[in-house]
A and B are shown apart, each in its own frame.
Chain A
Amino acid sequence: MTAITTRAVGSSPTRIEGTAKVTGAARYSTEQDHLGDVAYLWPVPATIAKGRVEAVDSDAVAGLPGVLAVLTPDNAPRLETPDDAELAVLQDHEVSYRGQFVAAVVATSLETAREAAASLHITYAEVPHDSELTENHPKLSKPEKVNPAFPTDTEDGDVDAALAAAAVTVDATYRTPPVHNNPMEPHASLAVWLGHELTLYDSLQGAFAAQQALAKLFALPPASVHVINEHVGGGFGSKGTVRLGAVLAAMAAREVGRPVKVVLGRQHMFTVVGYRTPTIQRVRLGADADGQLTAIEHAAIEQTSTVLEFAEQTTVATRIMYAAGSRRTSHRLAALDVPTPRWMRAPGECPGMFALESAMDELAVATGVDPVEIRIRNEPDVEPESGKPFSSRNLVACLREGAERFGWAARDPRPGVRRDGRWLVGTGVAASTYPSYVGPSTASAAAEPGGGFVVRISAADIGTGARTVLTQIAADALRVRVEEVRVEIGDSSFGQAALAGGSMGTASWGWAVTRAGERLRAALDEHGGDGRLEVHVDTAEEVKARTGFAYHAFGAQYAEARVDLDTGEVRVPRLLGVFGVGRIVNPRTARSQLIGGMTMGLSMALHEEGVLDPAFGDYVNHDFAGYHVAAAADVADIDAVWVDEQDEHVNPLGVKGIGEIGIVGTAAAVANAVFHATGVRVRDLPIRLDKLLGGLPG
């Protein structure tokens, strides 16, 4: 691949939609005001965890003033069978988890829809449910593959023999709780039918995939479905594919003959849109006395629902992180009567690296080797399981740069000995990694009659800065200033494109935008520059040809933790991430995104837990008062920097995704720092005061 000479790429323009967002002018999903009278739909969640809907007493609410329709499993329009079984909403009478939508009310006002939905009487035939994941759950089985298509189990060498012979071993079980994506904008859909043409305004990480899914569900040609996601209020994986609110909106809008809005309540966000599965992970490490790994075993237990199988790839990072003589990884899955878990920011790597990087810290303690040094000692030359060379890998550089910046050298390894008044103080480190995926995308570029250029791609800016960085990339490809380029995104009619997920947006869209810009520039050069030229590109062939290397980003995170001796309250005054993530297109937005991931990682470390009540089968703390995410007061000095990394193999721009790596390793760095501060090893997240209180020195 040839390198591109850049000008705009690497500079730090502020966000293109910045003014729109700070003035409240940016319109998200349903915030459209040109559609006339819209109706409002409010869903009815099941109040049992398993069974059947026997009857819905629609008549009692159907006659209320303002109620336009009551959708139930009995009367809801039939849909084609979706690929995603969660989208078959109201298509049968089964209840597979508490909170699953079993009916919906459409009304002329939000207040009426909501009250009517609340008063709708539903009779259930309830059967016993089983919602609690346990280590020896009888339903645990081996999924065929793990998300998206990784082998379920891998084995390399004789782990048992290596463990038996190891000078030092670590054998520990780590637990991560259910964690909920909770983007600040709830899932929201506004559907409008014009004849047999459906327009959907929605909060989605990918409009094109949504268009395809809806076309299939409603048996329409894809061209008859138009999906618009101009601004998206966060997603973190939960808006990766279209969710059931869109289906309800489309269904209802056709039933009542007017546009219908479906905006989920925050409480619904804990059930029907996905979340991170809880995990129970056993890690066994074997090493020689110097901390050189001879064996790694990582076995993950996780859950899915009975609606569909989602098997998170919890241990895949262990397959690529460290050199070791032997290695075994596995995943076991129990299909329980619980809401369906799906993707959440760095699915797999995030919980998996909490376990592996905590275990590495335990190995450092057990061997007396410095936690930074022990990772450097186990740096592999090639990707351990595949034997492929890395397209680039700068974990060691990140560890060293971080150690230098953080002041690691003076660290006393003894736990529980540093006090500042009534605070215990400690520091910890952990590694980060995330794959550098890329997906095929199409894009178009055109010279505009009045001057300037427009580039169109069905990308989504969920807060990543995609609109801004694609403009920079397009300007360079066109060899013009960024002010001359307008990038339009968030519209399925722009054609197939990768979704804003898997940290592959900039790599995938940037590739297509680069090719579109280059081709338009060549055409303009050939045709003399004026006239109405438009080019279309598709990177499918090029993307398919990317092979031969292992493509991953790496990083190191350093944390300082302070623990109150009286209360066990934890504060994290410093968190530093150093990343090797290829070329940085926009340092301003890149830094924000990395820090944002680390902030969510801090939140995971200290706060986040969906609390299951097994008697009911749902997450009982389903709001922002009960489910804590980090607030401003929890976030002190967090910074992210990167090492210079030129990767000519990963993609033409040399970029690696940065949306997810920031959350990978943070929780382990914090847990390791808490151990260093207190001597208490917390192996089950979140690290709350009650887990520390009993173990603190008096």
Chain B
Amino acid sequence: MQLSVNGQSRDLELDNRTTLLDALREHLGLIGSKKGCDHGQCGACTVLLDGRRTNACLVLAVTCAGREVATIEGLAGPDGLHPVQQAFVEHDGFQCGYCTPGQIMSAVGMLEEFERGWPSAVTGEVQPAGLTAPEIRERMSGNLCRCGAYVGILAALTDVASRS
């Protein structure tokens, strides 16, 4: 099958059972997407699928033909790190770093969702007024961090949100 990853079409011969996450990690050498639980319970495998943040561990790769996958490896541009990546470094938004690519991809998707006016569980109104700390925390709760870097992650994303 063909899988389009970070704008490049890749040819692959895959078992029907292979998840998108395993296709990336074990077949394409794209190890940036991490496997923390393999059941959609931690968010370490978060990628953008057709522009939306998704847990790659719960997607069968065979269903991804014709869809666009974006992973952490494709995030930084020719001019350097993406603003979210840069903010994670500056605000120490990680320790061991294993959940980090998933956090960052989730954050990129989350910021885009906010831009579209999507509410969250803590939004009282029809649409959210601003990306407050409670909003960021709720929206990022699908990405577990065992080192406890949530405080740094919040600082990083607050910084990014204030600049955009």
Contacts and interface: CB of A to CB of B under 8 A. Distances in A.
Contacts of B72: 22-24
A14 B34 contact: no
Contacts of A535: none
A240 B79 CA distance: 40
Given A184-B99, A233-B96, A24 B146 contact: no
Given A186-B36, A265-B38, A593 B95 contact: yes
Contact of B144 (A19, A23, A233, A631): A631
Given A184-B99, A633-B137, A24 B71 contact: yes
Contacts of B134: 633
A23 B141 contact: no
Nearest to B100: A21
Given A624-B37, A632-B150, A184 B32 contact: no
A19 B89 contact: yes
A633 B144 contact: no
Contact of B92 (A15, A26, A234, A636): A15
B56 to A, nearest CB: 13
Contact of A624 (B22, B41, B89): B41
Contacts of A236: 146
A22 B148 contact: no
A51 B25 CA distance: 38
B141 to A, nearest CB: 4
A185 B144 CA distance: 12
A588 B98 contact: no
Interface residues of B, number: 61
Interface in A258-297: 263, 265-266
A110 interface: yes
A336 B119 CA distance: 50
Contact of B89 (A14, A33, A603, A638): A14
Contacts of B15: 109, 111-112
Interface in B16-71: 17-18, 22, 25-26, 29-39, 41-42, 44, 71
A467 to B, nearest CB: 11
Interface in B131-162: 133-134, 136-138, 140-154
A184 B36 contact: yes
Interface residues of A, number: 61
B104 interface: yes
A232 B97 CA distance: 8
A28 B36 CA distance: 12
A65 B41 CA distance: 31
A23 B73 contact: yes
B34 A184 contact: yes
Given A110-B26, A638-B151, A31 B31 contact: yes
A544 to B, nearest CB: 32
Contact of A185 (B18, B39, B89, B98): B98
A27 B86 CA distance: 19
A666 B41 CA distance: 25
A588 B92 contact: yes
A465 interface: yes
B138 to A, nearest CB: 5
Interface in A174-212: 182-186
Nearest to A203: B98
B129 interface: no
Contact of A463 (B35, B36, B97, B133): B97
A184 B39 contact: no
Contacts of A110: 22, 26
A26 B97 contact: yes
B94 interface: yes
Contact of A596 (B37, B42, B71, B147): B147
Q: Chain B contact residues: over half helix, strand or loop, or mixed?
A: loop
Contacts of A21: 94, 97, 100
Q: Chain A contact residues: over half helix, strand or loop, or mixed?
A: loop
Contacts of A231: 96-97
Contacts of B97: 17, 21-22, 26, 231, 233, 463
B151 A234 contact: no
A370 B89 CA distance: 42
B146 A632 contact: no
A31 B34 CA distance: 10
B22 A24 contact: no
Given A233-B34, A266-B37, A465-B95, A111 B17 contact: yes
Given A185-B96, A463-B97, A596-B147, A27 B31 contact: yes
Contacts of A462: 96
A624 B103 CA distance: 16
Q: Counting chain B CB atoms within 10 Å of each CB, which of A231, A265, A463, A625 scores highest? A: A463
A14 B95 CA distance: 11
Interface string A588-626: 110111011111100100000000000000000001110
B81 interface: yes
B32 A629 contact: no
A624 B96 contact: no
Nearest to A31: B31
Contacts of A233: 34, 96-98
A18 interface: yes
A651 interface: no
A108 B24 CA distance: 17
A601 to B, nearest CB: 9
Interface of B: 15, 17-18, 22, 25-26, 29-39, 41-42, 44, 71-73, 75-76, 81, 85-86, 88-90, 92, 94-101, 104, 133-134, 136-138, 140-154
Closest CB pairs A-B (n = 5): A24-B32, A599-B148, A233-B98, A463-B96, A463-B95
9 contacts: A22-B97, A23-B72, A24-B32, A185-B96, A185-B98, A186-B35, A266-B38, A266-B42, A624-B42
Interface of A: 14-15, 17-19, 21-28, 31, 33, 109-112, 115, 182-186, 231-234, 236, 263, 265-266, 462-465, 588-589, 591-593, 595-600, 603, 623-625, 629-633, 635-636, 638-639
